[in-house]
Structure 1
Amino acid sequence: MFRYIVRRLLQMVLTFFGATFVVYALTFSFVDDPYQALVGERPLSSSQRAALDARYHLDDPFLTQYWHYVRNLLTGDFGESLTGRSIGAMLADAWLVTVRLSLLAVVIAAVIAVGAGVLSGIRRGGAFDTVTLVLTLAVLAMPIVVLAPLAQLVFGIQLGWFPVTATRDAGLHELLLPALVLGSLVVATELRVTRTAVAENLRADYVRTARAKGLAPRRVIGVHVLRNSLIPVITLIGVDIGALMSGAIVTEGVFNIPGVGFNLFRAIRTEDGPLVVGFVSVLVIVFLVINLIVDLLYAALDPRIRYE
């Protein structure tokens, strides 16, 4: 186990530097004129432009720029955005909001997906299974850019069940509707994977043996079938946590939530390269750490899995 963790950590280091290099290259290759995009129509003198280039090392060769960024990153310094604000401080404020929103969305999606998926797998071909399949198709066919404003209009404005927007210090009630919208991105996939895994495990030899020994159906399903069926679901949930953090751009924009997605979209729109790279670098770390945790959970769910 220890050797496996060390090997994975070394792979994570290589993946992190490779991913940040690609993101850095793509970000600053497609930036046309970030300063002019920042100041709008106001003229920017050549001396001001030169001072900004020297401050953000944009007058250096590309590899030198990336070296400055990595050197600062390794010391915990994310630098400054083009607006002069500390990226680290912006990350601290935005991540607290997005983590709460994403974790709430993951919990809601996992409870609905696992519960409905187990029932669909047990009653495969029945009325409940058919209804869930139709609903998941409808959710998969509806993009988030349509679902988010529609949910805000119906449940926030017309019915008044939820607040229309959420603040930085939003509580459970304010984040519930955005979390439901965000969780809809993954609940359909998780439900279908759970249904398929449960249906396959119900036909396995160990289930027939457990039933032949006289074990109660609740124990067969809850202990044996569910434990083996959760392995692919755990993989999806682990990936979905990182995906929801990075994919909350539309949801946070519609509900005016000052989180990672909201700030990342604003940075892309204003061509704020340092801010984009800083936020994406943290997202890469989140993806890598979550995938490592998911791999380690496999051994806890299936005793046949060993890391040598």
Structure 2
Amino acid sequence: MFRYIVRRLLQMVLTFFGATFVVYALMFANIDDPFQVLAGDRPITDSQRAELNARFHLDDGFFAQYWHYVTALLTGDFGESLTGRSIGDMLAQAWPVTIRLALLAIVIASVIAVGAGVLSGLRRGGVFDTVTLTLTLVVLAMPIVVLAPLAQLIFGIQLGWFPPTATRDANLYQLLLPALVLGTLVVATELRVTRSSVAENLRADYVRTARAKGLAPRRVVGVHVLRNSLIPVITLIGVDIGALMSGAVVTEAVFNIPGVGFNLFRGIRTEDGPLVVGFVSVLVIVFLVINLIVDLLYAALDPRIRYE
């Protein structure tokens, strides 16, 4: 186990530097004139432009810029955005909001997906299974850029069931509608994977043996079938957390939630390279850590899995 964790940590380091390098390259390759974008119609003098270029190392070559960024990042310094704000302070303000939103979304999606997926797998071919599969197709066909403003218009503005926007100190009720919208990104896939896994394990030899021994159906499903069926679902949930973080860009922008996605959207729109790269770097770290935790959970779910 120890050797496996060390090997994964080394892989995570390589993945982190590779991902940040690609993001850094793509972001700064597309920058035209970020200072003029931030200034709007106001002119920028040559002395101001020279000072800003020196401050953000934009006069240096690409590899020199990336080296300045990485060395500062290793010391915990995320730098400053082009507006002069500390990216570390912006992360400290934005992350609690996004974490609450993402956790609420993944809890809602997991409860619905696992519950409905188990029932569909147990009643494969029935009415509930057919209706569930149809609804998941509809959800998969609805992109979040359409679903988010539609849900805000119908349930937030016209019906008034939920607040149409949320603040930084939003409670669970204010985040419920954005979380439901965000959860639709992953609920259909998780449900289908759960259904397929349950249906496959119901035909396994150990399930037939458990039934032949006279175990109660509830124990057969709850202990033998569900435990083994959760392995691919747990894998998917770990990947989905990263998808929820990226999907929060649209959701937070629509519902005006000042989280990570909202800041990323604003940074991309204003061509604020340091802001975008800093926030994406933290997202990469979160994604890598979550996937390591998911891999380690395999052994807890299935005793047959060992890391040598």
TM-score, normalisation: structure 2: 0.99
**Distance of 1:228 and 1:101 partners within structure 2:** 29
> Paired residue for 2:40?
40
> Paired residue for 1:250?
250
Amino acid at match of 2:80: E
Check whether the contact 1:156–1:162 (CA below 8 A) recurs between aligned residues: yes
Q: Does 1:200 align with 2:212?
A: no
**Distance of 1:147 and 1:82 partners within structure 2:** 32
Q: By how many angstroms is 1:118 displaced?
A: 0.1
> Paired residue for 2:147?
147
Check whether the contact 2:202–2:225 (CA below 8 A) recurs between aligned residues: yes
Q: Does 1:94 align with 2:94?
A: yes
> Paired residue for 2:183?
183
Check whether the contact 1:246–1:260 (CA below 8 A) recurs between aligned residues: no
Q: By how many angstroms is 1:299 displaced?
A: 0.5
CA deviation map 1:283-307 (0-9, x unaligned): 1101100110000000110111000
Question: What's the % identity of the aligned pairs?
Answer: 86
Q: By how many angstroms is 1:259 displaced?
A: 0.6
Check whether the contact 2:149–2:254 (CA below 8 A) recurs between aligned residues: yes
Q: By how many angstroms is 1:66 displaced?
A: 0.8
Spell out the pairing of 1:124-139 with structure 2 (5 A cutoff).
Answer: 124-139=124-139
**Distance of 1:50 and 1:154 partners within structure 2:** 49
Q: Does 1:264 align with 2:264?
A: yes
Check whether the contact 2:87–2:275 (CA below 8 A) recurs between aligned residues: yes
> Paired residue for 2:219?
219
CA deviation map 1:47-74 (0-9, x unaligned): 1111001100111111111111011100
TM-score, normalisation: structure 1: 0.99
Q: By how many angstroms is 1:152 displaced?
A: 1.1
What secondary structure sits across from 2:229 in the alignment? helix
**Distance of 1:87 and 1:230 partners within structure 2:** 38
**Distance of 1:42 and 1:59 partners within structure 2:** 22
Amino acid at match of 1:46: D
Q: By how many angstroms is 1:100 displaced?
A: 0.3
**Distance of 1:135 and 1:239 partners within structure 2:** 22
**Distance of 1:58 and 1:147 partners within structure 2:** 39
Q: By how many angstroms is 1:185 displaced?
A: 0.6
CA deviation map 1:82-140 (0-9, x unaligned): 00000000011111100000000000000000000000000000000000001000101
> Paired residue for 1:282?
282
Detail structure 1 runs of 4+ shifted over 6 Å in the superposition.
none
CA deviation map 1:238-258 (0-9, x unaligned): 111111012211111111100
Amino acid at match of 1:180: L
**Distance of 1:88 and 1:243 partners within structure 2:** 23
What secondary structure sits across from 1:248 in the alignment? helix
**Distance of 1:11 and 1:40 partners within structure 2:** 43
> Paired residue for 1:112?
112
**Distance of 1:33 and 1:157 partners within structure 2:** 38
CA deviation map 1:137-170 (0-9, x unaligned): 0101111111111111111112211111100000
> Paired residue for 2:228?
228
**Distance of 2:88 and 2:287 partners within structure 1:** 19
Larger deviation: 153-162 or 181-190? 153-162
